[in-house]
Structure 1
Amino acid sequence: MTTQMSDDSLPGLLDLARRDYKDLAGQGLKLDLTRGKPAPEQLDLSEGLLDLPSGHTAADGTDVRNYGGLRGLPELRAIFADVLQVPADQLLAGGNSSLEMMHDCLVHALLSVMPGAESRWADQERIVFLCPVPGYDRHFALCERFGIEMVAVPMDGSGPDMDVVERLVAEDAAVKGIWCVPKYSNPSGVSYSDETVARLARMETAAPDFRIFWDNAYAAHHLTDEPVEIADLLALCAESGHPDRAFVFGSTSKITFAGAGVGFFGSSAANVDWLTANNSKRSIGPDKVNQLRHLEFLRDAEGVRAHMDRQRALLAPKFAAVQRILSEELGGTGLATWTDPDGGYFVTLEVVEGCAKEVVRRAAEAGIVLTPAGATHPYGDDPRDATIRIAPSFPGLAELERAMHGLTVCVRLVGYEKAAGA
């Protein structure tokens, strides 16, 4: 990325940016764009959950107040089978967090032999995961927690660079997995193309126990009238002779209550049996009362879609404001590019190489807190120091607009300083 300015214009642009930053720093702002949390108004849409369930008996007669039901309520699984592209009998409904399920899958893979594996991962010399970048920092944190080596893979408009992925998985049996957010990726908003999904399903891997951690966190989180549809990974894996390859995750965390939702895991029958057997050692069953209240509140797949339309009505104006302000303040400057997602919770801002950390630091000094630069890459290391993740969901619209105007001031200041060698 190069700045589009003449040598004559740079001193004036830099002087203006410095004045704007001084004004910004004097406002005493306390604004936060760090995490992609639902706003209170979004949580209010699910307030009816607090009056549910109306009883304590599921359709099959299960008393949800008691132990048991490791796989979760069948009726709720049937609703999200449609959303997550997993047959209902191959889908587990668990506690409030899909991240918790990802954590457990890693732990169980380390400590027990998965279907198709020759040994426990803990008994192998190296375990490597591929990490499409920019990506989700909590995925990277899980790998660091368990000593799993991470290898960054570049993303493009269709998903991870499959030429790189196919080469890495074919040449090294230590490569055991890949993190994927396939629809409205965190943070780029990219949705995987049908060809990318098909190549992931059919590629040959040196490791017989290779797994795709398919974190479909934004499966229902559309920002336009035309929802993006992605290919059915689980079905394609089965068709390609790799039925156990995909671990599918999802949740209601950004659909209903972020702290009291339902997480889901879907895979082959063999993988579902493996996870259920391992989970039985740590739990006698999930919170079925919460699952029943979600079932009564959402009712069916169409109920989920209608609820998400109401969520979109709250989120879309915020994302539109981000696009408008970035275009007005940074368009044509050559100082930044940014994504315009069709769904999900984030916008990725790419600034001049070598400037992201300094932009984040200057913003913090002015009272605007951003996700740390580098969080979008393994080990917190963005080698280009250019990527900044913007999370527009939580602030009110007026607060978001103030934060975005302030952020663009910081981008201009740091970008022009770098161009001037200041």
Structure 2
Amino acid sequence: MRAYQELSKEELLALKAELEKKYEDAKGKGLKLDMSRGKPSVAQLDMGMDIFDVLNSQSDLTSMEGVDVRNYGVLDGLMEAKQMMADIMGTKAENIIVYGNASLNVMYDAVSSAMTHGVMGCTPWCRLDKVKFLCPVPGYDRHFAITQHFSIEMITVPMTPQGPDMDLVEELVSGDDSVKGIWCVPKYSNPQGYTYSNETVRRFANLKPAAKDFRIFWDNAYAVHHLYEEEERQESIPDILSECEKAGNPDMVYEFASTSKISFSGAGVAAIATSRGNLECIKKTLTIQTIGYDKINQLRHVRYFKDFEGIKEHMRKHAALMRPKFEAVLKVLEEELAGTGIGEWTRPGGGYFISFESLEGCAKAIVARCKEAGVVLTGAGATYPYGKDPRDSNIRIAPTFPTAEELSQATDLFVLCVKLVSVEKLLGGR
């Protein structure tokens, strides 16, 4: 397939006319498809319905330590729930506090507490002249929304297939005490699906921050979300908490995870993993904030999955439903766009997204064209702080929620829009 840049003006005009006709035909189909978020499909949710059969009015609602889960108490979570979350995160149960249903709440609370009360005795961030966060890009829009909500200045750091540009991270963290944190998705990053290399993890652990209260916000959202069993069999990335301890930086990390895309989105179990010093600081706030989280839900999850092998087996069922969808999208992209020079995309081994890079200046127009024809994508720019992609080229594709038929229609339309907008871009430069 010839690169579009090699086509003459006449060839581009002829192609544009052909593509416009196809686009008008597509608009006439009356599609109403939503691919804007990385949501589990109905089939994935149905797969876990028997979790509701684990507990009923006749169940023993006593934890392994003799706690009546119906009552108050156990601020930091049931011991067996701590172990479950520790297994998912690849750390120790003693490092864990178990929260409610969503890790996003935990991340928000961590930033909010740092703003109002400071981190382990340091000056509250709200009293400082300037607070900055490093944001690997493309990245997760909800991370950026939290820091923007608190008027924290966000500094972009380019992502690579091995993780963030660590030369730049080290330079910024060590040279500026107003840099207080960095957002990280270390396994199957959102949206590219990259996994941090062992070297990247160890360089994070060995950072020498100018700010005593600098924290790595390590969102391990997709730790067990493999699409292929060979990815599952590969050695896990090093435990960041252990690596930080070895490097003499035991307090530098907040690690987050949840079962939101393991059991049910919105009804799972979330947790933070961090050092003893951080845990003690966090608990001081928790004693004011809550009397305790949903221990019945914690017990339900533990008894349903039983152990880490049970979680892994359940995730293989998720993968069996998700894998064909990812492969279907990648097949269309490969067949329709490979060699055209108008797009590049990632081929993730896990997670929930495919990251697409269009020609510079085309992403917003592609997303708008798709929406006009009935397919809603994540807004262009959402994967960058303040919603501003400087190249206007990144688009996040979320294949999981639509049915196979809907996904086929949506991907065909997406490719059509990429071609049409790219031709218009190239003609505008002639």
| Common fold: TM-score over 0.5 | yes
Q: Secondary structure at the match of 2:288?
A: coil
SS at match of 1:62: coil
1:85 aligns with 2:90: yes
For 1:9, what is the secondary structure of its paired residue?
Answer: helix
Query: What is the rounded CA distance, in whole Å, between the counterparts of 1:22 and 1:384 in structure 2?
Result: 28
- Residue 332 of structure 2 is matched in structure 1 by 325
Among 23, 28, 31, the residue aligned to 1:26 = 28
Map 1:282-293 → 2, pairs under 5 A: 282-293=289-300
Q: In the alignment, which residue of structure 1 is the partner of 2:109?
A: 104
3-state SS, counterpart of residue 279 of structure 2: helix
Alignment of 1:254-269 (within 5 A): 254-269=261-276
CA distance, structure 2, for counterparts of residue 118 and residue 140 of structure 1 = 23
Correspondence for 1:252 among 248, 255, 259: 259
Q: Shift of residue 4 of structure 1?
A: 3.9
| Structure 2 counterpart of 1:135 | 139
Counterpart position of 1:339: 346
Comparing 379-388 with 18-27, greater Cα deviation is found at 18-27
Distance 1:187 1:362 in 2: 21
Separation in structure 1 between the aligned mates of residue 396 and residue 310 of structure 2, nearest angstrom: 31
Matches within 5 A, 1:127-206: 127-206=131-210
- The one-letter amino acid of 1:9's match is E
Query: 2:165, 2:227 → 1: CA distance?
Result: 25
Deviation at 1:118, TM superposition (A): 3.0
1:5 and 1:13 map into 2 onto residues whose CA distance is 13
Match of 1:400 in 2: 407
* Distance apart, 1:13 and its partner CA: 2.0
Alignment of 1:401-416 (within 5 A): 401-416=408-423
5+ residue gaps, structure 2, are none
User: Of residues 241, 250, 258 in structure 1, which corresponds to 2:248?
Assistant: 241
Q: Distance in 2 between matches of 1:329 and 1:27?
A: 21
Give matches, 1:379-398, under 5 Å. 379-398=386-405
What TM-score do the two structures reach when normalised by structure 2? Answer: 0.96
Identify the residue that residue 210 of structure 1 maps to in structure 2: 214
Residue ranges of structure 1 left out of the alignment (5+ in a row): none
For residue 280 of structure 1, give the secondary structure of its aligned residue in structure 2. helix
Query: Are residues 1:6 and 2:10 paired?
Result: no
Deviation per residue, 1:307-337 (Å, 9 max, x gap) = 0001100000000001001111111111101
Aligned AA (2:253): A
Query: Could you list the per-position Cα deviations for residues 172-227 of structure 1 after superposition, in whole angstroms to 9, with x for gaps in the alignment?
Result: 10000000000000000000001111111102111011100000000010001122
Q: Deviations over 1:67-106 (max 9, x none)?
A: 1111111112112212202210111111000000001111
**Stretch deviating more after TM superposition (30-39 or 9-18):** 9-18
CA distance in 1, matches of 2:207, 2:289: 34
**Structure 1 partner of 2:71:** 66
Deviation at 1:293, TM superposition (A): 0.4
- Whole-angstrom distance in 1 between the partners of 2:344 and 2:60: 52
Q: 2:318 aligns with which of 311, 316, 340?
A: 311
Q: CA–CA distance in 1 between the matches of 2:238 and 2:389? A: 30
Conserved 8 A contact 2:342-2:358: yes
Give how far 1:369 is off: 0.5
Residue 338 of structure 1 deviates from its aligned partner by 0.5
The CA deviation string for residues 232-265 of structure 1, in whole angstroms up to 9 with x for no partner, is 1111101111000010000000000101100010
- The CA distance in 2 between the partners of 1:337 and 1:378, in whole Å, is 22
The 2-side partners of 1:279 and 1:102 are apart by 14
Distance in structure 1 (CA, Å) of the matches to 2:145 and 2:60: 40
Name the amino acid aligned to 1:49: I
- Retained in 1: the 8 A contact 2:138–2:191? yes
Alignment TM-score, normalising by the size of structure 1: 0.98
Give a deviation string over 1:375-395, Cα, whole Å, max 9, x none. 000000000000000011111
Structure-1 residue corresponding to 2:48: 46
What number of residue pairs does the alignment pair up? 420
Is the Cα–Cα contact under 8 Å of residues 193 and 231 in structure 1 kept in the other structure? no
Alpha-carbon distance in 1 for matches of 2:384, 2:315: 30
Q: CA deviation at 1:51?
A: 2.0
CA offsets 1:277-310 (integer angstroms, 9 cap, x no match): 2111110001000001001101000000000001
Give yes or no for contact 1:5–1:333 (8 Å, CA) kept in 2: no
Structure 2 distance, partners of 1:52, 1:276, is: 30
Q: Which residue of 2 aligns with 1:56?
A: 61
TM superposition shift of 1:231: 1.7
Amino acid of the structure 1 residue aligned with 2:48: S
For 1:6, the aligned partner's letter is L
SS at match of 2:356: strand
Q: Show the counterpart of 1:302.
A: 309
Alignment-mate amino acid for residue 217 of structure 2: F
